[in-house]
Chain A
């Protein structure tokens, strides 16, 4: 029970201690970073085996204090965040040697991880905002870490849009507080349900008109968190910011940050707090489908390897939001499944792009060619990841896309299902281009002397490639129920969430403190 706060506290400690490491002892910084990431991964696996619970910080029971909620969805997200963080940390030491200030890099990196873990665990709206900001501010700084022209420009653009989004989120929270007089998620949820919710013909609201303030707050949340998640009308910052960052950060941003701070927070707020209605669900699906289609069409024309991947991130986020927006049990399961898969293959793709850049110094696809001969590990893992994202059968992407399409059909949304199929084909086309130009074909004269990347980088990529295959096992009934089914239930069963938090039995809570 006591381990839960450590999931946020451990990366914070790393963030505070790493800048104190002397400048000459960079090896020590590498070691500490790896140790922290390993501890985090272990903690997330321990958390997976813990029963669902809530943790009252400082012993103050909800709705008064801040509380952490450990349920199916947060367990799944913690596992994804911590394991992928570990793999990316493994990749970082060798890659980051050409940047100065590695210790500062690690410090910001772990602050970002702490923010993401906090977003996943927290059960308090204002605390959610604070953790979103911790993760976001660290990521603004990390995008501009290299301090070159493009990086600074992307960082500034990301910062401006990101802080506007944060202000929208905070305004939404303020409106909820004005209306309901609380910021605890479960308490809010309870009060909103009692007040009739968003209205319409939703399952939780048989009747009653929605309050204008509540609708306004919902719109603000969708805009603000949609901006953080880079859904299509709000996506302008992503294709600049993600490629500009150092590769491990590109992988973190595309693989984890937009999911935890964007999609997970959005799903938590809409499903658990405000309560989903057909209108909101339609909005989510349309945003998702738009992102899916626009992202892939722009991606096809790209020649910059990392930029192409960034546009595919938008497209794949579209899949996730479309599926979660269906709001059916199968839809949410499929969305979460695709979220897990995307968190595996997109970092892998970015890491391979980074490896190619590490050796050749270019990100232009038409400058590469035949790299398979010189960089077999990078080539093979990149091939596996490309097939995963394109949805080719033995790999994980196929199964989650299949589930999404089935869920669309089941919900009677044939148009979206067809769009999903078409986008998948276009994705395949786009990655065929990547493979053809970068890794297959004749080797260019100037790349005659390059070699495979250092062992730790190769190991990280191999690990992710194995995960690409292994996570297909989530299609089997047992693992699917254990990881995805529980996560889906904890999101869609709003009443259960409220009871879990506001019920009487709490770990860490203490009756004697009520007298204060």
Chain B
């Protein structure tokens, strides 16, 4: 099933977060995790051969309600993308500052705290 592939992508992202040593690679893995969830939401709303849920003069909404894709997950994904954009920007800013302080992107060398 195609949904399972999203889960696989999610797990790949988590694996990356857990095993990567480079800060930037960790951030990329986070992006993978977030996109996998977005992808899952989009796939939820998809139906085979569905049309875009956009009303035009030629096609009032009553006529396509039965055959369009579900617009609600799309709205949610847009919000989720905005949120992950914010997180990503913040994490890159923090990573750059960390590089400035420690002179490295390697997490194993950024260990002042005991955890």
Interface residues in chain A, defined as those with a beta carbon under 8 Å from any beta carbon in chain B: 126, 129-130, 133, 137, 140-141, 144, 147-150, 152-157, 159-160, 163-164, 166-167, 170-171, 174, 177-178, 183, 236, 239-240, 244
Contacts and interface: CB of A to CB of B under 8 A. Distances in A.
Given A130-B83, A167-B33, A174 B94 contact: no
A126 B87 contact: no
A154 B115 CA distance: 9
Given A126-B79, A240-B115, 19 more contacts: A129-B80, A130-B79, A133-B87, A137-B90, A144-B94, A152-B98, A156-B94, A159-B91, A160-B17, A163-B91, A164-B14, A167-B36, A170-B37, A171-B10, A171-B37, A174-B73, A177-B72, A178-B44, A183-B76
A167 B41 CA distance: 12
Contacts of A133: 83, 86-87
Interface of B: 3, 10, 13-14, 17, 23, 26, 30, 33-34, 36-37, 40-41, 44, 72-73, 76, 79-80, 83-84, 86-87, 90-91, 94-95, 97-98, 101-102, 110-115
A239 B113 CA distance: 9
A317 to B, nearest CB: 18
A422 B14 CA distance: 37
A148 B97 CA distance: 9
Contacts, number: 93
Contacts of A147: 97
A141 B10 CA distance: 25
B102 A149 contact: yes
Main SS class of interface, B = helix
A332 B55 CA distance: 49
A177 B80 CA distance: 15
Contacts of A141: 90
Interface of A is mostly: helix
Contact of A153 (B37, B72, B84, B112): B112
Contacts of B26: 160
A170 B80 contact: yes
Contacts of A160: 17, 26, 30, 91
B87 A159 contact: yes
Contacts of B10: 167, 171
A174 B37 CA distance: 8
Nearest to A130: B79
Contacts of B72: 177, 183
Contacts of A239: 114-115
Contacts of A170: 37, 41, 80
Nearest to B45: A177
A343 B86 CA distance: 29
A144 B90 CA distance: 10
Contacts of B13: 167
